[in-house]
């Protein structure tokens, strides 16, 4: 049986879990009263909010990119406005369901994979962006030793890019990516499997099917 390696900020008991990123949180000065809703595309955004007094932001509902990011905001006591399909680009269509007068605050990473906010702004939507955290490659992913025939699960473009800084993908490996955005980071000539949904559990189910 092939070993399964999960490169993610999440872990799973059936995989060798390798923390792929180190997260640095920022605490910019924010007046939450200026906004009608948040845009949240990562659990890290909810973690960053914990630096503020709960009562200052908890009444603001959030448009979340996935069920995982929605649960992270609900865990704080927040209300979820709507949930996208796991990709930043899906949120553009969700935002179009609301009036252009709505005041959004995108709680973002320093580097983002999708330009959906840029497109929404061009269409006249009122969205402010604030950098709440920054990701960098962890020493765990840079130094990990992986068998050539392992099943490798990547849950973000950055996790794959970090892995490739110090490793190459063997054609004997089985590569699984959590979504289309991550798939775009796979080097040309390397075959990969796309999970059915953008969850670690879906990736693991697929990994077990290709493990043999």
Same domain, 130 and 146: no
pTM of the complete model: 0.77
Q: Give the DSSP H/E element, type plus range, for residue 137.
A: strand 126-137
Same domain, 42 and 60: yes
Which CATH number is 185's domain given?
3.40.50.10090
Burial class (CB in 10 A: 0-12, 13-18, 19+), 189: exposed
* pLDDT of the chain, 212 residues: tens digit per residue: 899 999 998 899 999 999 999 999 999 999 999 999 999 999 999 999 999 999 999 999 999 999 989 999 999 999 999 999 877 778 999 999 999 999 999 999 998 878 999 999 999 999 999 999 998 999 999 999 999 999 999 998 999 999 999 999 988 999 999 988 899 999 999 999 999 988 999 999 999 999 97
Same domain, 131 and 88: yes
Same domain, 109 and 96: yes
Same domain, 14 and 42: no
Total residues found in the chain within this entry: 212
Q: Into how many domains does the chain fold?
A: 2
**199 phi, psi to nearest 5 deg:** -135, 155
Give dist(CA 15, CA 202) in Å, integer.
13
How does the average pLDDT of the chain come out, rounded? 95
For 65-111, what is each residue's pLDDT tens digit?
Answer: 999 899 999 999 999 999 998 777 789 999 999 999 999 999 999 98
Same domain, 111 and 170: no
Q: Domain of 188?
A: 4-20+138-210
Given a contact cutoff of 8 angstroms between Cβ atoms, the answer to whether 172 and 185 are in contact is no
Same domain, 103 and 200: no
Same domain, 143 and 186: yes
């Amino acid at each position: 049986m092939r070993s399964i390696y999960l490169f993610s900020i999440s872990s799973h008991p059936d995989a060798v879990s390798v923390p792929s990123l180190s997260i640095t949180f920022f605490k910019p000065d924010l007046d939450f009263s200026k906004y009608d809703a948040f845009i949240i595309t990562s659990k890290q955004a909810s973690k960053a909010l914990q630096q503020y007094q709960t009562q200052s932001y908890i009444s603001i509902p959030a448009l979340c990119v996935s069920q995982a990011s929605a649960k992270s905001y609900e865990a704080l006591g927040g209300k979820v406005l709507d949930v996208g399909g796991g990709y930043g680009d899906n949120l553009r269509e969700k935002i179009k369901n609301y009036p252009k007068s709505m005041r959004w605050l995108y709680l973002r990473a320093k580097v983002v994979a999708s330009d959906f906010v840029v497109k929404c702004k061009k269409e006249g939507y009122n969205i402010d962006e604030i950098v709440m955290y920054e990701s960098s490659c962890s020493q765990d992913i840079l130094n990990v030793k992986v068998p050539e025939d392992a099943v490798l699960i990547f849950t973000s473009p950055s996790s794959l890019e970090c892995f490739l800084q110090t490793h190459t993908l063997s054609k004997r490996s089985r590569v699984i990516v959590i979504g289309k955005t991550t798939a775009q980071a796979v080097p040309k000539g390397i075959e990969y499997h796309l999970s059915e949904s953008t969850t670690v559990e879906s990736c693991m189910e697929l990994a077990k099917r290709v493990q043999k």
